[in-house]
Amino acid sequence: MLSRAFAVASSVSLAALLSAGQSVALELPLPPEGEDVVGQIQVIKANYEDTFAALGETHDLGYLELIAANPGVDPWLPGEGTDIILPTRYILPPGPREGVVINLAEYRLYYYPEGENVVHTFPLGIGREGWGSPVGNTRISAMTSNPAWYPPQSIRDEHAADGDPLPKVVPPGPDNPLGPYKMSLALPGYLIHGSNKKFGIGMRVSHGCFRMLNHNVLELAGLVKVGTSVRIIDEPYKFGVSQGKIYLEAHTPLQDEEKPMTLMDKHAVVINTLLKRDEAAGSLQLDWEMVREIIAGEDGLPIQIAERGQALATHEEHVF
């Protein structure tokens, strides 16, 4: 039985040969019907001046996903020549592959252009604790270039309490926290927008809106239109199929610090997520040791846990 570490190392080594450290835009071809895995993990050598925030901006990755994929590496000073894993392989989110899909748990947005066999994916900053981003179905209701910002009274009150009062209107420009573009959602008060801060993409930092790198929000604005559907989900555990193999991708669940999830809670969520998929009704012999390691690791990398055509071991037979 392969360990999770060996499985990750094997996939990274193959990807390194394929990518040769090259940065590629995260526009990825969709897999064949019935499959769910896109992209390839990449490996690069860090330069002396590199930080995870800078690498994220260059490679369209979020800060926390780089930390999760590179445990033990200093995000502010990785060190000259250090191998950095770029987690650019994804299991597509469950549900229809249409419009915009935001998965809060992985701080990531997916866009499926109509009539094209590709998916575009971008990192996001989402709502911090106490200002959580919503889950549900909505649409883009308006698109605005170089927007002014009208801070809601609740945010003005918060800033005033911290000794940092805000004006009623922040005009477009380098001090505007909405960046060069905003897309309003049909959910009142929620936006997809750029930012005047590079740090914070791929983290819980906003007041509920979805914050993007400025070059990413401009790219997305050129792809979508008013009326584009937006589906917001919160799925920390994604199962997917690729070439007859079953993969699990685990992210740290969003949770209230006062009520953290136990390991048993996380295992239960994984089992329930698996049972929602068609594979649970078929024949799978899961590698439960690998599943446990993936749940404990929460590194966001798709790892193989089974192959189709093997007998399904019922979850009652396995005690985590």
Give the span between the Cα atoms of 270 and 98, in whole angstroms: 25
Give the span between the Cα atoms of 271 and 276, in whole angstroms: 9
Given strand 245-250, what is the order of strands in its sheet? 237-242, 245-250, 303-307
**pTM (predicted TM-score):** 0.86
Catalytic residue among 120, 207, 209, 267: 209
Catalytic residue among 120, 193, 207, 267: 193
Is 207 a catalytic site residue?
no
Which residues does residue 192 pair with via DSSP β-bridges, in sequence order? 183, 210
Specify the pLDDT at position 319.
35
Half-sphere exposure of residue 261, counting CA atoms within 13 Å on the CB side? 16
**Model confidence at 16, in pLDDT bands (50, 70, 90)?**
very low
- Answer yes or no: are the C-beta atoms of 201 and 125 closer than 8 Å: yes
Is 193 a catalytic site residue?
yes
- Answer yes or no: are the C-beta atoms of 299 and 69 closer than 8 Å: yes
Predicted confidence (pLDDT) per residue in 120-146, tens digit: 999 999 976 656 788 999 999 999 999
| Cα first-last separation, the chain | 17
**Model confidence at 224, in pLDDT bands (50, 70, 90)?**
very high
C-alpha torsion angle, residues 206, 208, 213, 219 (rounded to 10): -170
Give the span between the Cα atoms of 181 and 238, in whole angstroms: 31
* Strands 126-127, 204-206: pairing kind: parallel
More confident residue, 297 or 309: 297
- Residues 6 or more apart whose CB falls under 8 angstroms from that of 304 comprise 7, 245, 246, 247, 287, 290
Specify the pLDDT at position 18.
39
- Answer yes or no: are the C-beta atoms of 233 and 103 closer than 8 Å: yes
CATH class as words, domain 4-91: alpha beta
Specify the pLDDT at position 60.
94
Topology of the domain comprising 99-228: L,D-transpeptidase catalytic domain-like (2.40.440)
**Model confidence at 10, in pLDDT bands (50, 70, 90)?**
very low
Domain positions in the chain: 4-91, 99-228, 240-317
Q: What is the residue whose two structure tokens read 């380098």?
A: 174
